[in-house]
Structure 1
């Protein structure tokens, strides 16, 4: 079952349970996915949907940080709820140890030798770990591995 189908099924279940806050969040995400499909005139696969989900979470995390810094706990709680709802569709996140192993393996495969190869390594690692790791964390670990 694809992520889009799972998302639709979860919306139906939440509607039956009258959990309208969850329905609202999921419909928002579904609208973003449909808009990307319309704009690109293409059907998105699970990998693309995962990338959109990660982007949605990142946007909400940025808002959460701003709301928390400005003492807006009501809005911060709303953002955290949305992050939790969307995160349920992401696969289990990789530990730093597993991520470092994938990065080292990728560096060996590509023959990367320095920071100038960071872009190639990042793209390959991101493709291998779609939805399983935050790109910002990957970036820091790749930079550390290539400068060591």
Structure 2
């Protein structure tokens, strides 16, 4: 529980409690509960890299939920998911711009020697650690496919 990111999240939880921000507090508790679940299930301590991956996955889940709720006409539930996304994004590094992402993908293709879709895994392996928590991996995958295809 001593990682820098976990400390920031715990401090934010205390601040949200003091400010009586119920929605923010609930979202922060979801993040910490997910860390705790992983620690109990896998008997490990979640480090910053794993925490970023977990929060990235939580963002993806929220995006999926939002599209399903909006398709079902449940704007109220979509709004809750959007609010949770904003809180989760507060703890993630600054998102990559389209230009930065494009440059990263181009460099990964060159560095890995990827020439076709068969080599996509090699390039993705170079991109993933750099883009974790900073870009939607679905978008990264689409961009990579477009450049290789």
Alignment TM-score > 0.5, same fold: yes
Question: Structure 2: 5+ residue runs without aligned partners?
Answer: none
CA deviation after TM superposition for structure 1 residue 123, in Å: 1.9
CA deviation after TM superposition for structure 1 residue 58, in Å: 1.2
Whole-angstrom distance in 1 between the partners of 2:64 and 2:107:
31
| Aligned partner (choices 8, 13, 16) of residue 14 of structure 1 | 16
| Aligned partner (choices 2, 5, 10) of residue 3 of structure 1 | 5
CA deviation after TM superposition for structure 1 residue 29, in Å: 1.1
CA deviation after TM superposition for structure 1 residue 100, in Å: 1.4
| Aligned partner (choices 43, 56, 60) of residue 62 of structure 2 | 60
Match of 2:75 in 1: 73
Match of 1:102 in 2: 104
Q: Which runs of 4+ in 1 moved over 3 A?
A: none
CA deviation after TM superposition for structure 1 residue 59, in Å: 0.9
Question: Structure 1: 5+ residue runs without aligned partners?
Answer: none
Do residues 36 (structure 1) and 35 (structure 2) align? no
- Matched-pair contact (CA < 8 Å) for 2:35–2:51: yes
What RMSD over aligned residues (CA atoms) do the two structures have, in Å? 1.3
1:53-91 alpha-carbon deviations (Å, 9 max, x no partner): 111111111111111111112111111111111111111
Match of 1:124 in 2: 126
- Matched-pair contact (CA < 8 Å) for 2:9–2:28: yes
- Determine helix, strand or coil for the equivalent of 1:94: coil
- Determine helix, strand or coil for the equivalent of 1:43: coil
Whole-angstrom distance in 2 between the partners of 1:53 and 1:45:
12
CA deviation after TM superposition for structure 1 residue 120, in Å: 1.6
Q: TM-score, normalised by structure 1?
A: 0.93
Match of 1:138 in 2: 140
